[in-house]
Amino acid sequence: MGRSNGHWEGDVLVIVTTDLLPDARLDRAGNFHSNKLKVTERFQLIDSTHIQYEATLDDPQTYTRPWTIAMPLYRLIDENAQALEYKCVPFADMLLYHDLIGDKPRP
């Protein structure tokens, strides 16, 4: 919900997002941001099933200092795993999050 640009820093994929939509919220709790928010995400491959993920949010108009979340992302490998069908629902985001942006859900 913004303008994202990616580049590599060695073996780390870095994605910087700016110009986020003013009505976008950070979460379902409604935590907000200003038009100065910059999100910097870093993805580093640890091994064939793990990626280290880190996101730093920098918004001097909303927060006193930048803050960072980090966690490993992993894929569960099960010998009986199956890829399940996923049907995309048009306007699903609008149906789920319309209360956060003030628009009415579309049929």
Q: What is the pLDDT of residues 32-64, one digit of tens each?
A: 888 899 999 999 999 988 999 999 999 999 999
Enter the DSSP assignment of 28. T
- Quote the CA–CA distance of 77 and 85 in Å, as a whole number: 18
Q: Are 26 and 33 in contact (CB under 8 A)?
A: yes
pLDDT band at 102 (very low <50, low <70, confident <90, very high): low
CB contact set of 36 (below 8 Å; sequence gap of 6+):
59, 60, 61, 62
- Quote the CA–CA distance of 69 and 89 in Å, as a whole number: 30
CB contact set of 50 (below 8 Å; sequence gap of 6+):
72, 73, 74
Domain boundaries, the chain: 3-101
What is the value of pTM for the model shown? 0.69
